[in-house]
Amino acid sequence: MNAHRIIPALSGTGVTAGADVHANLTAASLTTHALRRGEGRLSADGAFIAVTGQHTGRSVQDKFVADDPEVTKEIWWGKVNQKLDPAKFDAFTARVRTYLGSQSELFTQDLYAGADPAHRIKVRLVTPNAWHAMFARNMFIRPPQEELAGFEPDYVILHAPEMDANPETDGGRAGSTTLIGLSFAKKLICIAGTSYAGEIKKSIFTVMNWLLPARGVLPMHCSANVGKAGDTALFFGLSGTGKTTLSSDPERALIGDDEHGWSDHGVFNFEGGCYAKVIKLSQEAEPQIWNASHRFGAVLENVVADERGHLDLEDNSLTENTRSCYPIEFIPNTVPGGMAGLPKNVVMLTADAFGVLPPISKLAPAQAMYHFLSGYTARVAGTEKGLGKEPQATFSTCFGAPFLPRHPEVYGKMLESLIARDGAQVWLVNTGWTGGAYGTGKRMSIQHTRALLRAALDGSLAKVEFVQEPFFGLSIPKSVPGIPAEVLNPRESWADKAAYDRTARDLQARFEKNFETFAGAVSDAVKAAAIRAAA
C-alpha cells in the first residue's frame, strides 16, 4: 500500500488516502464497482438494489449542528437543531477522516446543488461505497466535464456509514452509534453509523435552507412543474403526501420533485434527480416514476426483488419507506436547466389520517400562511426511524421543520411576501383518507386528486362556486364535473356523520394546540385565520 497522501480528488476534505480514490465515475463504472464490492445487486431491469440495514429512514434524533460562535445567534436551536460542542465536532471529524483514510477504496463525486448559477453551491462527497456515490451523482446536479478540472468545494460531505459514532468522544445522542454532524462555519458535514442515503440529500437541503434566505431567496421543501402556458406550480408537502407523484404529470413539465428556491426571477431546482417513495407504486397510476425505477442507472433502497431480480413493490418487509433515486432526465417531460418563471399556483399537500379535510380547498393569503406554518400531515411508518406501524398525525412547520436551521418565521415571512408580490393562488390538497379515518376509510383516489389539481392549475376551478365548510373555515368547491359531491365535502363521505363531527373537532383541537408554538410571531390576519376548537 502506498503512503498516505493528499490527492486532487480529496482537496479541501482533510482526508488523506493511501489506496485507490475513484473520482467522478459514471453510473456504469460505479455500478461495476458496487457489484464487484458486493454492495448490492441488479434488478431484472438493471437498477441497482441496496439494502440499508437497521436504518431505513432518516435518524432525526441523531442530527446535530456545531454551536460555532459565528452562527449560534441565527440558528433555531431545539429538537430540530441540537447543539454539538465545536470541540466534539472537531474530534468527530478527525475520527471520520482517519476512518476514511484507512479504507482500501474511496469514491468521490463533485456536484452542484442549485440549478441557478447565481445561487448554487459546489459539493464534494467522500464515501467508501460506490453505490452511495452513485446515489449522490443521481441526486445532485452533475457539472459538465470541463468544470470538474478546477472544482473546489464550497461544502464537503464526509460519509462513513459503517463507522460507529461514539457519543462520549464525538458528542451526539447517548447510546446511539449514529451521528449526522453539520458545521456551517467549517462548511462540513460528517455522517456516521447509517447507510440510509437520504441523509446525504437532506444534509445539503439543510445547507441551502441556511444560505439562501440571506440572499433573498426562499428555500422550499416542495416539488415544482410548469404548464404549457408557462405557468409554474409549487407542491409543498412532507414525505408520503404526493409531491413526487403529483408533480410528475405527463401534461406538465417537471422542474424538480423535492427542493427548490424562489428568487426574484423565478423558481429553480436544487437537485438533478428524484428520490421517490415506491411502496405500492402503480405502473398505471404513476407510469413515469415506475418506468424510471425499472431501468439501469436507478438506485433502489430496500426494495424487495425475487431471485431473478423482478421487483415486488408491494413488499414492505424491509420498510414502508422503499425508495428509488434516479436522474431527473429519466422523467420524459422535464424543464431543461431546472429553472422556470414565478409561480402562479402554490399547492400545500397533506395526508390527513383522520379523513376529515376536503380533497381541495382554496386558501386566502392569511390562511395560506397559517397552513404553511402549521405543516399538518400524517407521518407514514418507515419515513423516519422509530415510527410504529400506524401513521401519526404531526405538524412540521413550513412542511420541512427537520431541515430548517433558521427560525420558521424567517421562511414564513418570506413566503408571505413572495405570494403577495407575485400574486400566487394557494390551495390546500388532502391526499390522505376519505370516508373515515385511517383503518376505516380509504385513501383518496389519485385520479380524483389529479383531476382537481388540473382544474386548479388550468384556472377552471376558480370559475366554480365555492362554499365554506364549518369546521376549518375552508373554501371548498360546491361541485366539479366528474367528481362525486360526497368526495368534495368529506362529511358526506362518512356513513356516521356524528363520528365525523367528533373527529373534526378533535383535529381542530390539535391545530389549536400547535398554533401556540408560533402564535407570537404572526400577524393579526394570520391569528384571525387560525383554526380553533369549537367551544
Contacts of 186 (CB under 8 A, 6+ apart): 66, 68, 89, 93
Statement: residue 438 has pLDDT above 80: yes
pLDDT at 383: 46
* Residue of 202, 252, 260, 371 marked active site: 202
- Report yes or no on whether pTM surpasses 0.85: yes
Question: What is the residue type of 334?
Answer: T
DSSP string computed for 92-129: HHHHHHHHHHTSSEEEEEEEEE-SSTTT-EEEEEEES-
CATH class name, domain 218-273+336-529: alpha beta
Confidence of residue 33 (pLDDT cuts 50, 70, 90): very high
Confidence of residue 6 (pLDDT cuts 50, 70, 90): low
Q: Is 37 a catalytic residue?
A: no
Contacts of 251 (CB under 8 A, 6+ apart): 227, 228, 454
Give the pLDDT mean for 318-338. Answer: 95
pLDDT at 218: 98
H/E segment holding residue 439:
none
Question: What is the residue type of 126?
Answer: V
pLDDT at 490: 94
Confidence of residue 248 (pLDDT cuts 50, 70, 90): confident
Q: Is 513 a catalytic residue?
A: no
Confidence of residue 7 (pLDDT cuts 50, 70, 90): confident
* Residue of 239, 247, 322, 383 marked active site: 239
* Residue of 142, 323, 344, 510 marked active site: 323
Domain 8-38+59-195 in CATH 3.90.320.10: no
Distance, CA of 165 to CA of 342 (rounded, Å): 44
Confidence of residue 115 (pLDDT cuts 50, 70, 90): very high
Return the residue matching grid coordinates 459503517: 162
Residue-wise pLDDT tens digits, 148-169: 988 999 999 999 999 999 999 9
pLDDT at 306: 98
State the fold for domain 277-330.
Phosphoenolpyruvate Carboxykinase; domain 2 (2.170.8)
Please name which of 374, 400, 119, 146 lies closest in space to residue 259, comparing C-alpha atoms: 400
* Residue of 122, 142, 221, 510 marked active site: 221
pLDDT at 240: 77
Q: Is 397 a catalytic residue?
A: no
What DSSP designation does 458 have? T
Give the pLDDT mean for 397-414. Answer: 94
H/E segment holding residue 388:
none
Query: Using an 8 Å Cβ cutoff, are 383 and 239 in contact?
Result: yes
Q: What percent of the chain has pLDDT over 90?
A: 87
pLDDT at 391: 52
* Residue of 194, 206, 232, 244 marked active site: 244
Statement: residue 62 has pLDDT above 80: yes
Q: Is 98 a catalytic residue?
A: no
Q: Is 244 a catalytic residue?
A: yes
Distance, CA of 127 to CA of 189 (rounded, Å): 12
Confidence of residue 439 (pLDDT cuts 50, 70, 90): confident
What DSSP designation does 367 have? H
Contacts of 339 (CB under 8 A, 6+ apart): 115, 116, 255, 266, 267, 268, 269
Statement: residue 134 has pLDDT above 80: yes
Where are the chain's structural domains? 8-38+59-195, 218-273+336-529, 277-330
H/E segment holding residue 22:
strand 20-23
pLDDT at 2: 47
Give the pLDDT mean for 91-108. Answer: 97
Distance, CA of 250 to CA of 220 (rounded, Å): 23
Q: Is 258 a catalytic residue?
A: yes
Query: Using an 8 Å Cβ cutoff, are 518 and 397 in contact?
Result: yes
Confidence of residue 535 (pLDDT cuts 50, 70, 90): low
pLDDT at 273: 96
Q: Is 221 a catalytic residue?
A: yes
Q: Is 458 a catalytic residue?
A: no
Q: Among 82-91, 209-218, 432-441, which stretch is predicted with the lowest mean pLDDT? A: 432-441
pLDDT at 380: 47
* Residue of 116, 257, 258, 352 marked active site: 258
Torsion angles phi and psi, residue 514, rounded to 5:
-65, -35
Query: Using an 8 Å Cβ cutoff, are 209 and 81 in contact?
Result: no
Mean pLDDT of the chain: 93
Confidence of residue 379 (pLDDT cuts 50, 70, 90): low
Question: Using N-to-C axis directions, what is the helix angle for 27-36 and 130-139, rounded to 10°?
Answer: 160
Residue-wise pLDDT tens digits, 258-294: 999 999 999 999 999 999 999 999 999 889 999 999 9
pLDDT at 390: 53
* Residue of 13, 31, 56, 58 marked active site: 58
Residue-wise pLDDT tens digits, 168-182: 999 999 999 999 999
Query: Using an 8 Å Cβ cutoff, are 192 and 176 in contact?
Result: no
Whether 218-273+336-529 and 8-38+59-195 are alike in CATH topology: the answer is no
Query: Using an 8 Å Cβ cutoff, are 130 and 159 in contact?
Result: no
Return the residue matching grid coordinates 420558521: 408
Contacts of 302 (CB under 8 A, 6+ apart): 50, 51, 52, 56, 318, 319, 321, 322, 323
* Residue of 33, 97, 159, 243 marked active site: 243
Cα 338 to the center of its chain, rounded Å:
17
